[in-house]
């Protein structure tokens, strides 16, 4: 009788464990599905915002803010991953808001940190989750690029100074970026395609208009997918995220 009771108790415990595992798996599937929906919405809205002129950005930015609030409502055990996702969304929105008010430096800084939080978020996710929501290839590409960026060695100092600037509007915190003037590399961080034809490239946190020369680089043509630049007398085609090396 005792042996039979022992078997029954073991069976009940096994059922409870399997039930808990099944519930956890269903929650993970629901979260991944919801996350994929939000990421798709965000990517669509962000693409629209990135191709919208400065004067008409209010509605696209409002849509991004709405999606961010939706992301905040997701229940997830790993709060750090959610923090990175929301940080990425927040800095992206701040970048657009700064751009709308012609504050190009603040916009460039915000876009820079949006990129940092985005990569941290992708790193925080499991490979299975990245593959499910279609971001594994992007993660691999960003991981490769980040390893090549020697100019991010002082990232902790950059983070501290940028947060001070964004929170206190302290112009002195921008002194760090002025030191980049003597750098021998330029990173194409993004492009702004204006419907009126006033296109710009974001290089080393600065907006450079099509046809404009800044420091040692001239922007010859700005396209949605790439930028043609002239540096050291040589014409080069650069895609977003790539680093241009200046010959000494």
Query: Is 0.75 surpassed by the pTM of this model?
Result: no
Domains and CATH numbers, the chain: 31-148 (no CATH), 183-245 (2.30.30)
| Segment 109-141, tens digit of pLDDT | 888 888 888 888 888 888 888 888 888 888 888
Specify the range with the lowest mean pLDDT, choosing from 23-32, 101-110, 170-179, 213-222.
170-179
- Catalogue the long-range contacts made by 229-235 (C-beta closer than 8 Å, 24 or more residues apart): 229/201, 231/186
Which residues share a beta bridge with 58? none
CA nearest 121: which of 165, 160, 76?
A: 76
Q: Rounded mean pLDDT of the chain?
A: 77
DSSP 3-state percent helix, strand, coil across the chain (nearest 5):
65, 15, 20
């Amino acid at each position: 009788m005792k042996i039979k009771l022992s078997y029954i108790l073991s069976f009940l415990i096994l059922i409870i464990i399997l039930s808990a595992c099944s519930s956890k798996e269903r929650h993970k599937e629901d979260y991944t599905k919801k996350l994929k929906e939000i990421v798709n919405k965000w990517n669509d809205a962000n693409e629209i915002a990135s191709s919208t002129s400065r004067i008409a950005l209010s509605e696209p930015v409002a849509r991004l803010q709405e999606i961010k609030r939706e992301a905040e409502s997701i229940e997830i055990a790993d709060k750090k991953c959610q923090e990175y996702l929301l940080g990425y969304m927040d800095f992206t929105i701040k970048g657009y808001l700064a751009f709308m008010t012609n504050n190009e430096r603040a916009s460039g800084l915000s876009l820079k940190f949006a990129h940092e939080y985005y990569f941290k978020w992708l790193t925080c996710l499991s490979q299975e989750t990245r593959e499910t929501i279609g971001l594994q290839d992007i993660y691999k590409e960003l991981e490769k690029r980040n390893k090549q960026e020697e100019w991010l060695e002082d990232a902790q100092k950059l983070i501290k100074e940028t947060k001070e600037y964004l929170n206190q509007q302290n112009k002195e915190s921008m002194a760090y970026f002025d030191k980049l003037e003597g750098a021998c590399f330029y990173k194409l961080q993004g492009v702004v395609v204006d419907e009126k034809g006033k296109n710009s490239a974001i290089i080393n946190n600065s907006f450079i208009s099509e046809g404009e020369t800044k420091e040692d680089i001239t922007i010859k043509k700005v396209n949605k997918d790439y930028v043609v630049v002239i540096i050291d007398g040589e014409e080069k085609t650069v895609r977003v995220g790539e680093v241009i090396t200046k010959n000494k």
